[in-house]
């Protein structure tokens, strides 16, 4: 379980996050959505322990994040960043093995090798395992990195009710993937949540959020404008407030989630538009 | 580590032993390889296998052995520092000479030589205490230069390669200018000492020099490989290494401290010997990939081979005169450096 309480983040005089509180339970996929500069990535950095909040607390499984040792945290929490800067010619399998680093000292065990193979298969990059990472395409690199992150925290059995949750934080995990891979990746995230993970993903595509997320946290200028069940948060009113974009929701009888269709030509009250334009410029 | 890599390490070690023996036997007074082995065994109290002259024993023990050992130490130190710094900067171009670490050390050495001849605090520079003092001073100079380049070239967790190389040029220029200034204001005797030191070769090797640098190079050579797994994780990025449980700040300090310690010590006794830290790791990466768990150990051994081998060549190529070893390593290193530049051109902007 992940709980944050009243998180504030100030960088210089700038208020990046203001009073952010939310909770994500074992077996849930929570999507963080919001316009550019809403503070999504900063929030993800705080809950993954990269930066400390100016105020407020983050608890993983009831324990404050800064009370964990780095190595201890690395065994239960993995983070997939937005961009990667690896530029040494490691092989794909070596990159994925790095995910197992927190689990062995000098020599990887057969179990470590097994997880690496498994992660490579799950992310459909097994055929690339002997290739040099730096020669891959952007999408392939992203999947290899996903495999590394999976290898880090993957566990086989469905968690028992009393077992501690593992955490997977994804910062725009589908940004450079094609349509099929986007859905494969998010399906994988769903598979993990069913294994008892807490999955938190920053998503840009509201339709993907609508389809896959159990809960949504919508941010605007560092404050929470809506938090709760996907259906309750993804309403035209909230989306207009958060993104400055009029949308309409459509329910297809064969799908149990609504589709969000942007409607830029729809008239919005003048004042509202003006305010939004300013926000985007900021 | 996989079997081929372990075999490669054995081959390199065997090669080092061969180069060591050949290098020790080569010179005005020839000592055959078997005689070298016999003398060494004899010194350790074993029975003699091949006959040798007492003069051979004396030359080997007093002149050759310290020189070869010094070459081995300095080569290993420079190569392992280069490889580790490349891991830290996350860039294959981070060579101690290119980014100004060596010239920072050199400036401090020159300053030290002048101070010693003025104050005579440390006694003679050729005593072990003198070498220790010199080593600590060059370590400080190397460390300051490394910190400056590192701070300048980092931008939001990434190393800007162009900034790193430009910062290196700036530091090299500044240290060169300051060295010039010191020389300008030095007396004739100081000038003589400084010039003698700046020629930079393994020629002045004695047991005092060897023991003077031994701890400063042995510590990095033994401890840097222990950081190799963390350095691998670090290549993913600073934040990513943190997610894998690596304490990035501690890693940076350790790598900077150990590698500048080795570079400082090598500059203190042998002057600036360029490109060893660039060439060796680069060739090894081409052969066996960038895994630091192999790279750092193999770099130490190969650096030792390269430098003691280059020392033999520098002694015989224009015999009876001696070519400064730095010239030789630069002649080998520059084409390789250019090759890396061309190969990395497309990604040189921000890697």
Annotate chain B with three-state secondary structure: CCHHHHHHHHHHHHHHHHHHHHHHHCCCCCCCHHHHHHHHHHHCCCCCCCCCCHHHHHHHHHHHHHHHHHHHHHHHHHHHHHHHHHHHHCCCCCCCCCCCHHHHHHHHHHHHHHHHHHHCCCCCCCCHHHHHHHHHHHHHHHHHHHHHHHHHHEECCEECHHHHHHHHHHHHHHHHHHHHHHHHCCCHHHHHHHHHHHCCCCCCCCHHHHHHHHHHHHHHHHHHHHHHHHHHHHCCCHHHHHHCCCCHHHHHHHHHHHHHHHHHHHHHHHCCCCCHHHHHHHHHHHHHCCCHHHHHHHHHHHHHHHHHHHHHHHHHCCCCCCCCHHHHHHHHHHHHHHHHHHHHHHHCCCC
pLDDT of residue B1: 63
- Nearest CA among B262, B299, B309, B268 for reference residue B68: B309
CB nearest to A78's CB, from B232, B243, B285: B243
Query: Percent of chain B having pLDDT more than 70?
Result: 92
Q: Are B96 and B82 in contact (CB under 8 A)?
A: yes
Query: What pLDDT band is residue B31 in, cutting at 50, 70 and 90?
Result: confident
B249 or B217, which is more confident:
B217
Q: Is the pLDDT of residue B59 over 60?
A: yes
Query: What pLDDT band is residue B119 in, cutting at 50, 70 and 90?
Result: low
**CB contacts < 8 A (A, B):** 78
pLDDT of residue A93: 93
- The DSSP H or E segment spanning A23 is strand A14-24
Cβ-based neighbours of A196, under 8 Å, separated by 6 or more:
A26, A27, A155, A158, A159, A163, A165, A166
pLDDT of residue A117: 93
Residue B95 contacts A where some CB pair is shorter than 8 Å: no
B contacts of A106 (beta carbons < 8 Å):
229
Measured distance CA(B245)–CA(A47) in Å, rounded: 15
Structure tokens at B42: 């004899």
Measured distance CA(A267)–CA(A246) in Å, rounded: 8
Measured distance CA(B191)–CA(B262) in Å, rounded: 26
pLDDT of residue A268: 58
Measured distance CA(B338)–CA(B349) in Å, rounded: 16
Place of tokens 């239960």: A76
pLDDT of residue B320: 76
Give the chain A residue nearest B156 (alpha carbons): A85
Rounded to two decimals, the ipTM of the complex is 0.86
Residue B155 contacts A where some CB pair is shorter than 8 Å: no
pLDDT of residue B323: 80
pLDDT of residue A279: 43
Region B57-84: mean pLDDT is 92
Q: Are A3 and A58 in contact (CB under 8 A)?
A: yes
Average pLDDT for chain B: 85
| From A71-75, B113-117, B141-145, the region with the lowest mean pLDDT | B113-117
Residues 147-166 of A with CB under 8 A from B: 148, 152
Taking each helix axis from N to C terminus, what angle separates B248-270 and B101-119, rounded to the nearest 10 degrees? 50
Query: What pLDDT band is residue B243 in, cutting at 50, 70 and 90?
Result: very high
Model pTM score: 0.85
pLDDT of residue B315: 84
Q: Taking CB atoms and an 8 Å limit, are A87 and B290 in contact across chains?
A: no
pLDDT of residue B50: 79
CB nearest to B239's CB, from A81, A98, A102: A81
Ranges of chain A with pLDDT below 70: 156-162, 266-282
Residue A48 contacts B where some CB pair is shorter than 8 Å: yes
pLDDT of residue B115: 77
- Nearest CA among A74, A142, A62 for reference residue A104: A74
Place of tokens 């390490």: B9
A contacts of B289 (beta carbons < 8 Å):
89-91, 94
Query: What pLDDT band is residue B268 in, cutting at 50, 70 and 90?
Result: confident
Structure tokens at A25: 């339970």
Q: How far is B70 from chain A (nearest CA, A)?
A: 31
Place of tokens 């701070």: B151
CB nearest to B233's CB, from A73, A81, A98: A98
Q: How far is A232 from chain B (nearest CA, A)?
A: 33
Q: How far is B155 from chain A (nearest CA, A)?
A: 13
Structure tokens at B159: 């190393």
Q: Are B160 and B350 in contact (CB under 8 A)?
A: yes
What DSSP character marks residue A175? T
CB nearest to A101's CB, from B158, B244, B247: B244
Residue-wise pLDDT for B162-215, tens only, equals: 787 788 889 999 998 998 898 888 888 888 778 777 766 787 788 888 988 899
């Amino acid at each position: 379980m992940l709980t944050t309480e009243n998180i504030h983040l100030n960088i210089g005089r700038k208020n990046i996050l203001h009073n952010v509180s939310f909770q994500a339970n074992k077996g849930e996929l929570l999507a963080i959505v919001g316009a550019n500069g809403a503070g999504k990535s900063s929030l993800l950095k705080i809950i993954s322990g990269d930066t400390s909040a100016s105020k407020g607390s983050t608890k993983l499984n009831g324990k404050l994040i800064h009370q964990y040792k780095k190595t201890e945290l690395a065994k239960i929490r993995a983070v997939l960043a937005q961009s990667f800067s690896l530029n040494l010619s490691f092989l794909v399998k070596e990159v994925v093995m790095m995910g197992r680093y927190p689990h062995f000292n000098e020599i990887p065990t057969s179990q470590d090798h097994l997880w690496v193979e498994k992660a490579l298969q799950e992310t459909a990059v097994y055929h690339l395992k002997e290739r040099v990472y730096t020669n891959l395409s952007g999408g392939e690199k992203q999947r290899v990195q996903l495999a590394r992150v999976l290898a880090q925290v993957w566990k086989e059995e469905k968690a028992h009710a009393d077992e501690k949750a593992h955490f997977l934080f994804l910062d725009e995990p589908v940004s450079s993937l094609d349509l099929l891979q986007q859905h494969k990746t998010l399906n994988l995230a769903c598979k993990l949540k069913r294994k008892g993970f807490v999955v938190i993903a920053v998503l840009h595509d509201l339709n993907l959020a609508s389809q896959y997320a159990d809960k949504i946290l919508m941010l605007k200028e560092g404050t929470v404008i809506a938090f709760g069940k996907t259906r309750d948060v993804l309403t035209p009113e909230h989306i207009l407030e958060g993104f400055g974009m009029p949308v309409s929701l459509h329910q297809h009888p064969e799908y149990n989630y609504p589709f969000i269709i942007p409607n830029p030509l729809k008239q919005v009250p003048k004042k509202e538009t003006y305010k939004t334009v300013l926000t985007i410029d900021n | 580590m996989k079997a081929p890599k372990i075999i490669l390490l054995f081959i390199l070690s065997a090669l080092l032993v061969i180069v060591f023996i050949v290098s020790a036997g080569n010179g005005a007074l020839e000592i055959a390889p078997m005689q070298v082995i016999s003398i060494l065994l004899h010194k350790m109290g074993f029975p003699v296998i091949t006959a040798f002259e007492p003069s051979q024993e004396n030359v080997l023990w007093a002149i050759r052995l310290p020189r070869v050992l010094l070459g081995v130490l300095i080569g290993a130190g420079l190569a392992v520092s280069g490889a580790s710094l490349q891991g830290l900067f996350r860039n294959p171009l981070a060579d101690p000479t290119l980014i100004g670490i060596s010239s920072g050390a050199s400036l401090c050495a020159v300053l030290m030589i002048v101070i010693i001849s003025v104050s005579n605090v440390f006694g003679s520079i050729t005593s072990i205490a003198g070498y220790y003092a010199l080593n600590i001073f060059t370590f400080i100079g190397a460390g300051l230069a490394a910190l400056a380049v590192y701070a300048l070239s980092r931008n939001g967790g990434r190393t800007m390669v162009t900034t790193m190389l430009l910062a290196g040029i700036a530091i090299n220029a500044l240290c060169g200018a300051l060295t010039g200034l010191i020389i300008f204001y030095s007396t004739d005797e100081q000038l003589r000492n400084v010039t003698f030191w700046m020629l930079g070769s393994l020629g002045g090797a004695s047991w005092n020099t060897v023991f003077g640098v031994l701890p400063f190079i042995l510590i990095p050579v033994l401890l840097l490989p222990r950081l190799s797994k963390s350095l691998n994780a670090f290549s993913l990025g600073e934040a990513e290494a943190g997610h894998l449980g690596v304490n990035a700040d501690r890693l940076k300090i350790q790598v900077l401290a150990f590698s500048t310690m080795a570079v400082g010590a090598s500059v203190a006794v042998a002057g600036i010997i360029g490109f060893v830290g660039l060439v060796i790791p680069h060739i090894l990466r081409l052969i066996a990939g960038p895994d630091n768990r192999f790279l750092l150990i193999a770099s130490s051994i190969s650096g030792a081979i390269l430098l003691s081998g280059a020392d033999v060549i520098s002694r015989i190529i224009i015999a009876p005169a001696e070519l400064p070893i730095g010239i030789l390593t630069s002649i080998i290193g520059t084409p390789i450096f250019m090759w890396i530049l061309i190969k990395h051109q497309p990604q040189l902007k921000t890697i």
